Structure 1
Amino acid sequence: MKSFIKTTLTPIAFALVLTGCAVGPDYQEPTVELSQAYLYANNQAIDNNPIWWESLGDPTLTKLVEDVQAQNIPIKVAAERIKMANSYKQMVDSLKVPTISVGGGYFNYQLSENDSLLGPVFGAQDALGVSLLDSQHDGGFLGASIAWEADIFGRLDRQSNAAMIRVEQAEIYQNGLYTLITADVISNYLQLRGAQERRELAQDNIADQRKTLELVEKVVRSGYGSELDLAQAQAALAATQSVIPQLEIAEQVHKHRLAVLLGEPLETLDARLDGSQALPQISGVIPVGMPSELLKRRADIRLAEREMAAINEEVAMSIANKYPKFFLTGAPGVTASDFDDLFSSDSFGWAGAVGVQWNVFDGGRSDALVEMNEARFDAAALNYQHVVDSAIKEVDTTLFAYGRSQDNQVQLDNAVDAARNAVSKAESLYKAGLIDYLSVLDAQRQKRMLQDRQVAARLQSAQATVAVHKAIGGNWVVSDVNAGESVDLAAIN
C-alpha cells in the first residue's frame, strides 16, 4: 500500500553544556521521520549507478557531460569558493596559536639641553666626574613580540568549528552545482536531438503532402475534384511547413545553451554534435531509493543542515564572548649603544604580562547578540524542515510526471503501430485498384503526424527521467574529471 509522506522535525532545544570551561550549546543533528516509500514510487529494482546517463548509449552526450564538468565556469567559481573557505578556516585556526613578530633597527636621538626637566641633569656629574646623562644617544636593537589568548571558554574553538562547517558547505554547494549543470546539459541535449528528429519527420511529411497536393491539382484540373479539396491540401502543406522554423529555432536555442554551459564557441559545439541524430532511447530503472536517503543525497538538504550546525557554533561563540578573555604577552630582545655589544648577555632584556579583559557592562549588547543568533538558529531549523518537505514533494511530483509520461508514450507507440498497419493496408488496397492514391497519402500523413507526437512523447519521458534523477540528488561527478581538485563526496551515496 502506498503511503503519504509526513515529516516531523524534532525540536532542537538550546542548553548550556559545560565541557571543562567551554560554554555554549552542543549541536544535535535534526531527526526527521519519513515514510518507507514515495507516494508514486513503483516497486522495481534499484540501479545504483550514479552516472546514469551512460545507459542512454550516446557517446556524444557522455563526452559533453565530461567536458562541462571540467570546464564549466560556475563550477570553477565554486572550486575557488572552496579555496577561499579553506583559507578562512586556516586564518581562524591561527588565532588559537601565539602570534610572534620580530623586529630590529637602529636608533639615534638628541635631548634638548634647555628642557625644563632634563636640562639641569646634563651638566651634573657623579663622584667620579662622569656625566650622569648625555644629550645624544644612538644604538641598535633586536627583539620579538609574543601574544597569545588562552581560549579558556572555547570561543576560538567554536569559531574554528564554524569555519570548518563553512568549508563543508562550499563543498556541498559545488556538488549540487555539478548536479544542476549536468542535468541542464542532458536536458538541453535531449531537447536538441528531439527538435532535430521532429524536423526530419516534418520534412518527410512535407514531401508526402506535396505529392498529395500535386494529385489534387491534377484531379481538379480534370474536373473531378473540388476547390475545397485543393484548399485543404494547400492548408495542410502550409501548416506543416510552418513547423520547420519553430523546430529550427528550438534547435539553435538549445545549441546556444549548451555552448554557454560548456564555455566554448558555437562553431566548436557544432563540430562535435556531428549533425542531426535521433533522440536517445531511455532505458533501465531509476534509482529512487528510500525517502530517508534524500537527507544525504540532496545538496539543498545537506546545506540547510550544515547551516544549522554553523549557526549553533556562532551561538556558542557569542555566549563565550560574554566571559573574560585571558592574554599572555612577552617582549624579549637585546639593545646596545654599540653593535659589537648587541649580542652580549648584558644587552638582553624582556618584558612579560598576563592580562584579562571582561566587559562587565555593555548595555545589553552581548545578550542581544546571543538572542539574535538563537533566532537565526530557529529560523535555520524551520528552513531545514521546509527544504525537506519540498524535496519529498518534488520527488513525488517528478515520479508522478514520469509515470504518466511513460503511459503516454506506450499509448502513442501503439498508435504508431496501428498507423503503420493502416499504411500497409492502404498500399495493398491501392495496388488492388480498390482505392485511389490519395487515400494512401492520407494514411501516410496520419502515420507521420503520430510519429511526430511519438517523438514528443519520448522527449517528455526523457525530460521526466532527468527531473527524477535531479530530484533524488546523489553524486553526479564523473570520476577523475577534476583530479586533484574534486571534493570528497563519499558521504553522498
Structure 2
Amino acid sequence: MRYRIVLMVGPTLALAACAAGPDYHAPQPAALGVPTGYSQGPAAPLDQAALAAWWTRLNDPALSALIDRAVANNLDIVQAQARLRQARESLRQANAAFLPQVSGSGSGGRNYRNQAGGTRTDSSGNVISLGSSNWSSTYQLGANASWQLDLFGELSRSAEAARADLAASGYDLANVRMTIISELVTNYIQARQAQEQLRIARETQRVQQDNYDIARWRLQAGLVSSLDEQQALAQLSQTNATIPQLEASLRGSLNRIAVLTGEAPGEATRTLEAPAPIPTASTEIATGIPADTLRQRPDVRSAERALAAATARIGVAQAQLYPSLGISGNIGTTSNAFRNLFDLITGGVFANVAQTIFDGGRLASQVRSQRAAADGAFAAYKQSVLNALEDVENAMASLASARTRKAELATAYEASNSAAILARSQYQAGLIDFQTLSTSENTLLSARNGLAGAQADEVLAVAQLYNALGGGWQNMETRPDEQ
C-alpha cells in the first residue's frame, strides 16, 4: 500500500503568514473620482425598502404579478443562477486543495504454473507425464496520499480569488435580475401607452367620421365645395392608418413581456389585452449620495470583486516563483493468502522540495501578465463607477424633463380640447371653413398623444432612475454578500 501525504496550513494562517503578492484593499471613492453629491435632486438617504421593490410604488397589481413571474421563470436569470452555482463549485475545488489527496488500489488473482519432468510408460502402455503443475494466489492492497504545504500562499490566494469570483457571480445574478425587472416595467408601460393611444385614436376616429359626414351633407346641400369633403376624408384616413401601427406596437410589447416571464407569446399575456391606464409615478425619489449608489449597484460591486480576484491571482503567479514543499507517503501489503494479507505491511514517508531553476522567464512573465490583468480590472471597475454616476444623472434629468413636459402638455390639452369643441360647433353653424376645424382637431390629437406620451415617459424615467440607483435585487433570497 502506498500513499503520499502533503502537509497543509489553513488558508487564513497561510495568508496571514507569508502569502505572496499584494494584499487587496478596495479603492476609496476619492481614488475613483466619485463626487460628494449629485448635481440635481434631493440628497435624502435612500429608502432601502422602497429601493428593493420600487415597482410596488406604481400601485399596479398586474405589473407586480408579472415581475414575480419573471423573477421566478426568466431564462436569463436561470442562466445567471447556473453560473453562480459553477462559481460556488469552483470555490469548493479551490478549498479542496488544502486537504490531503488520497488514493487507494487493490488487486487479487490466481497464477498457474506447469513444470515439465519427463515421462514413463505404465503396464498398459500409456505414457504418463512426470511434470508438476500448481495454482497460486496473490493479493495486494495499497494507498498513497499527498498533502502540500502552502508555504507562500499559492493555495490561499487561489481560494481568495475563487471567493471573489463567487461574489462577482452573485452580483452578476443580481444585475441580471435588476435588468429584467427594468425591461419588463418598460415594456409594460409601453403596452399601456399603446392602449391609451389606441383609445385616443378610436375616439378621434369617431369624431372625424362625424366631421366627414357633416362635410358630405353640407356638400350635398350645396353649402360648401368638395374641398371640405376631401379634406375630411383625408384626415379620417390618416387617423385610420395609425391604428394598425399602434396595434402592432402593443402586440410587440405583450410578446416581449411573455418572453421575459419565461413563457411563449400569446396566451401568457391574454389578460393584459384588456385596456388599463398608464401607472402613476411616485412624486419624490430620494437618490442619496453617489457613494450610496456604488454600494447598491450590483454591476459596480461585481467589477470590484473582479478586481479583488485579479489582485489575488498576482499572488498565485508570484508564489510559483518560490520553492514548493510537500510530504508524500505510501503504505501497502502483498500476500499469497487473503487471511495473511496484513501479516506484513510496508510503507514510507518522504519529504520533497521543488524549485524551478530555469524556464525561460515563463513564471516571471505570468506575474507581469497578472499585474496587467489587475490594472485592467481596476480600469474596468472605475469605468463601471463612472457609468453608474452617469446613469443616475441622466435618469434625474429625464425625470425632471418628463414632469415639466407633462405639466405643459396638460395645459395644452385643456386648451386644445376647448378650442376643438368650439370649432366643431362653429363649423356645424357654417361660421368657419373645414381647414380651420381640421387644424383644431389635429392640434387636439397631438396634445392628447403628447400628454399620454409624457405620462408614460415620466413612469419610464422613474424606472430608469430606480434602475440607475441599483434597485430591485436587495430582497433576493440569497444576497451575493451572503454566499
Do they superpose with TM above 0.5?
Answer: yes
Aligned-partner Cα distance in 1 for 2:392–2:161 = 31
Aligned-partner Cα distance in 1 for 2:55–2:15 = 51
Q: Is residue 2:348 matched to residue 1:351?
A: yes
Aligned-partner Cα distance in 2 for 1:356–1:273 = 70
SS of the aligned residue for 2:147 comes to: strand
Aligned-partner Cα distance in 2 for 1:341–1:46 = 76
Change over 3 Å in CA distance of 1:98–1:47 after alignment to 2: closer
Q: Is residue 2:128 matched to residue 1:155?
A: no
Residue deviations 1:288-336, cap 9 Å, x none? 1111112211122112111110011100010001111111111123321
Aligned-partner Cα distance in 2 for 1:490–1:165 = 10
Residue deviations 1:221-267, cap 9 Å, x none? 22221222222211111111111011011011111111111121323
Partner residue of 1:203?
202
Partner residue of 1:404?
401
Aligned-partner Cα distance in 2 for 1:490–1:363 = 42
The answer on whether the counterparts of 1:182 and 1:476 sit within 8 Å (CA) in structure 2 is no
Aligned-partner Cα distance in 2 for 1:448–1:45 = 42
What is the CA distance between 1:138 and its match in structure 2? 3.9
The answer on whether the counterparts of 2:100 and 2:147 sit within 8 Å (CA) in structure 1 is yes
Aligned-partner Cα distance in 1 for 2:321–2:467 = 45
Partner residue of 2:306?
307
Partner residue of 1:342?
341
Change over 3 Å in CA distance of 1:45–1:320 after alignment to 2: closer
What is the CA distance between 1:160 and its match in structure 2? 0.8
Aligned-partner Cα distance in 2 for 1:228–1:430 = 14
Give the one of 84, 100, 103 matched to 2:102.
Answer: 100
Q: Is residue 2:142 matched to residue 1:143?
A: yes
Equivalenced residue count is 447
Partner residue of 2:58?
56
The answer on whether the counterparts of 1:27 and 1:312 sit within 8 Å (CA) in structure 2 is yes
The answer on whether the counterparts of 2:181 and 2:472 sit within 8 Å (CA) in structure 1 is no
Residue deviations 1:160-185, cap 9 Å, x none? 11111111111000000011000010
Aligned-partner Cα distance in 1 for 2:368–2:418 = 75
Partner residue of 1:245?
244
Alignment of 1:164-179 (within 5 A): 164-179=163-178
Q: TM-score, normalised by structure 2?
A: 0.85
Residue deviations 1:374-417, cap 9 Å, x none? 11111111222222122212211221121111111110011122
Q: Is residue 2:390 matched to residue 1:388?
A: no
Partner residue of 1:11?
none
Aligned-partner Cα distance in 1 for 2:443–2:43 = 37
Q: Is residue 2:461 matched to residue 1:464?
A: yes
Aligned-partner Cα distance in 2 for 1:304–1:490 = 14
Change over 3 Å in CA distance of 1:306–1:187 after alignment to 2: same
Q: Residue type matched to 1:83 in 2?
A: R
Give the one of 349, 364, 367 matched to 2:361.
Answer: 364
The answer on whether the counterparts of 1:208 and 1:441 sit within 8 Å (CA) in structure 2 is no
The answer on whether the counterparts of 2:15 and 2:156 sit within 8 Å (CA) in structure 1 is no
Q: TM-score, normalised by structure 1?
A: 0.83
Partner residue of 2:478?
487
Q: Residue type matched to 1:253 in 2?
A: G
Change over 3 Å in CA distance of 1:43–1:145 after alignment to 2: closer
What is the CA distance between 1:475 and its match in structure 2? 4.0
Q: Larger deviation: 42-51 or 94-103?
A: 42-51
SS of the aligned residue for 1:332 comes to: strand
What is the CA distance between 1:363 and its match in structure 2? 1.0
Q: Is residue 2:321 matched to residue 1:322?
A: yes
Partner residue of 2:215?
216
Partner residue of 2:126?
none
Change over 3 Å in CA distance of 1:232–1:424 after alignment to 2: closer
The answer on whether the counterparts of 2:204 and 2:445 sit within 8 Å (CA) in structure 1 is yes
Change over 3 Å in CA distance of 1:311–1:417 after alignment to 2: same
The answer on whether the counterparts of 2:140 and 2:334 sit within 8 Å (CA) in structure 1 is yes
Q: Residue type matched to 2:287 in 1?
A: V
Partner residue of 2:277?
278
Q: Is residue 2:379 matched to residue 1:377?
A: no
The answer on whether the counterparts of 2:15 and 2:153 sit within 8 Å (CA) in structure 1 is no
SS of the aligned residue for 1:40 comes to: coil
Alignment of 1:283-302 (within 5 A): 283-302=282-301
Aligned-partner Cα distance in 1 for 2:350–2:45 = 70
Aligned-partner Cα distance in 2 for 1:207–1:18 = 78
Q: Residue type matched to 2:363 in 1?
A: S
SS of the aligned residue for 1:311 comes to: helix
After superposition, the CA RMSD in angstroms is 2.9
Aligned-partner Cα distance in 1 for 2:395–2:294 = 18
Q: Residue type matched to 2:335 in 1?
A: A
Change over 3 Å in CA distance of 1:110–1:326 after alignment to 2: farther
Residue deviations 1:114-158, cap 9 Å, x none? xxxxxxxxxxxxxxxxxxxxx996421223211111111110011
Change over 3 Å in CA distance of 1:275–1:56 after alignment to 2: same
Alignment of 1:251-266 (within 5 A): 251-266=250-265
Change over 3 Å in CA distance of 1:105–1:44 after alignment to 2: closer
Higher-RCO chain (CA-CA 8 Å, sequence separation at least 6)? 2
The answer on whether the counterparts of 1:297 and 1:472 sit within 8 Å (CA) in structure 2 is yes
The answer on whether the counterparts of 1:216 and 1:233 sit within 8 Å (CA) in structure 2 is yes
The answer on whether the counterparts of 1:162 and 1:313 sit within 8 Å (CA) in structure 2 is yes
Structure 1: 5+ residue stretches without partners:
1-16, 114-134, 480-485
Percent identity between the two aligned chains = 27
Structure 2: 5+ residue stretches without partners:
1-13, 116-133
Residue deviations 1:363-382, cap 9 Å, x none? 11111000111111111112
What is the CA distance between 1:272 and its match in structure 2? 3.1
Q: Is residue 2:3 matched to residue 1:35?
A: no
Q: Is residue 2:416 matched to residue 1:419?
A: yes
